[in-house]
Amino acid sequence: MPSEAAAGPEKGPASDAFDIVIVGGGSSGCVLANRLSADPRRRVLLIEAGRDIKPGEETPAMLDIYPGRVAFDPANHWPALPAYFRPVAHNAPERPPLGRYEQPRLMGGGSSINGQVANRGTPDDYDEWERLGATGWNWQSVLPYFRKLERDLDYGGPLHGDSGPIPIHRVPRERWPAFSLAAEAALEAAGFAALGDQNGRFEDGHFPMTLSNDGVHRVSTARAYLDRETRRRPNLVVMADAAVTGLLWQDRCVAGVAIRGADGVARSIKARETIIAAGAIHSPALLMKSGVGPAADLRRLGLPVVHDLAGVGQNLQEHPGISLSAYLARAARLRGTTRRHIHLGLRYSSGCAGGLPSDMYMMVVAKSAWHPLGRQIATLLSWINKPHARGSVTLQSADLSVPPLAAFNHLADIRDVTRLTASVRFMARLLACEALAGHVAHASPSRYSGFAKALGRYGLRNFLLTAPAAVALDVLPFLRAPFFRHFVAGGMSLADLLASDEAIAAYVRDNAFGQWHACGTCRMGSAGDREAVINPVSGRVHGVGGLRVIDASLMPTAPRANLNIPVIMMAERLADAVIAGSD
């Protein structure tokens, strides 16, 4: 990924000229590096802004199939990425609070720290992409690449792969805690079908959560695609801790990249082709800083305009969600049967005006954090699978050291407010149903606040802070209600929240949070579509030679999925296009 303040590379390339330079070693970049360097005649350079933890050198937290330890480690994130989460109204006297959006910065990207949920989405997602101008991205066209990437350990047949780099696994029901089993019974009682395989049956229903691990260790793209054998290829150079500061131009063609090390020394690396795989925030930012983007915005910052592309940075999408939590009875808690904390998921249709089939998703969380308090808290988390609101990524300054600004505009569309409001009532009914009686108590709203984030960081201090409180909650029942009201819900009770739809709507507007599923900011489409940035057949940037973008920013719309597996699929598919020389 591009970086404005990164350490110098661990080692420099043997030559400053390559066939292909890949900017960003995330879920997409690692796939591309593997597939494109398979031909020994093609010299490939992979550049990553963060650390490169090689296979065999991972810490226990990085291999853990429970993601809470590695995900909250600030060493794995960009240090400062400002974002507006609430809608930004240009005529409002005040802007909403400015927050921080967590984005991974290490080899493997999101696949190295995410929740490992291996969700493809539904066929409708990809058929929709094609209808919106992404020619060749319908379900039948992408299915072979979903199969290519995976090694499903539970299911076979024409919908599943059996020899891909990424193992796909589901925690067996006999290892689920009592809470997860009771939640499954609650969904059955509510009329939802048991799908078994969420990536093979695409109607509404509940299912064991599909995971991108082997049941023992996390398997990131850094492990699966940049394994020891791949790294030994003499035609592949992996450069970590390196800052890409811009693109090199020769007329209207990209001829490589400019980089900078920790010592501040700039270098130029020439390449026949450059592929940006830096994600939905940093890919459009690098394009704009290099002169490709909305001309008026670039001129306003004093940046030269190489190519006017109005869609760069637009169409930002996320999956806004909301959660309710409750105290878990001792007998219902997760014990030592599995490290995983999410065993059960639900795909469902809101039925609200403007909603699409399976436009909602819910996860049943049996442990809300790694620390002793987290083990006592169950959470239901719902998000909008198909949001209507759109945001943008813009530059704050022409200064390369200033990060871009993401404005997500969560719930700017009333149809999103209505659906997330309904999800709060739905989750409240589930937590109060007969199947969960005796398993949970003191259900409350739960805010993904700075307090919760701070406690989420793994360490002795947070263990010592949470352990006494956890003991007190278990032995002193009268503390539970005030604890949930003040420390989990921020002073609000669930009864207060459910008093009216207006109260819920105000709450979700203030507290909806994304799932780290940013996408759409360099979307695919035809050259005649002014808002399209990328040729869907080749991944090439419209109107620019020698340059492709291959990552989540290409998505015309957010799929009904956690994005990691779809991004790997996209990289597999467009790697074939690069190899074939598609224009």
Q: Does residue 343 carry a catalytic annotation? A: no
Task: Report angle CA 552, 575, 41 to the nearest 5 degrees.
Answer: 140
The whole-angstrom separation of Cα 468 and Cα 373 is 9
Q: Is 244 one of the annotated binding-site residues?
A: yes
484 SS3 class: helix
Q: Give the contacts of 351 (CB within 8 A, at least 6 positions apart).
A: none
Q: Is 516 one of the annotated binding-site residues?
A: yes
Inter-residue contact 271 to 19 (CB < 8 Å): yes
The whole-angstrom separation of Cα 320 and Cα 344 is 19
Find where tokens 């799932």 sit.
515
Neighbours of 376 (CB within 10 A): 23
Q: Is 117 one of the annotated binding-site residues?
A: yes
CA dist 565 → 4, 74, 493 (Å): 28, 24, 37
Pick the catalytic residue from 206, 442, 517, 542.
517
Inter-residue contact 258 to 266 (CB < 8 Å): yes
130: left (phi over 0), alpha (psi -120 to 50) or beta: alpha
User: What six digits make up the tokens of 570?
Assistant: 């996209």
Q: Is 116 one of the annotated binding-site residues?
A: yes
The whole-angstrom separation of Cα 145 and Cα 455 is 39
Find where tokens 């998000």 sit.
383
Q: Is 517 one of the annotated binding-site residues?
A: yes
Q: Is 169 one of the annotated binding-site residues?
A: no
According to DSSP, residue 410 is labeled T
109 membership: H or E segment, kind and range = none
The whole-angstrom separation of Cα 278 and Cα 294 is 19
Strand partners, 407: 84, 392
Helix runs in 414-536, H state only: 414-431, 450-456, 460-475, 480-483, 494-497, 501-511
Question: Roughly how many angstroms between the first and final C-alpha of the chain, as a whole number?
Answer: 24
The whole-angstrom separation of Cα 253 and Cα 245 is 17
Q: Give the contacts of 557 (CB within 8 A, at least 6 positions apart).
A: 125, 128, 129, 132, 317, 386, 520
User: What six digits make up the tokens of 225?
Assistant: 């695609």
Point out the annotated binding site: 114-117, 244, 516-517
Point out the annotated binding site for FAD: 114-117, 244, 516-517
Which positions are annotated as active-site residues? 517
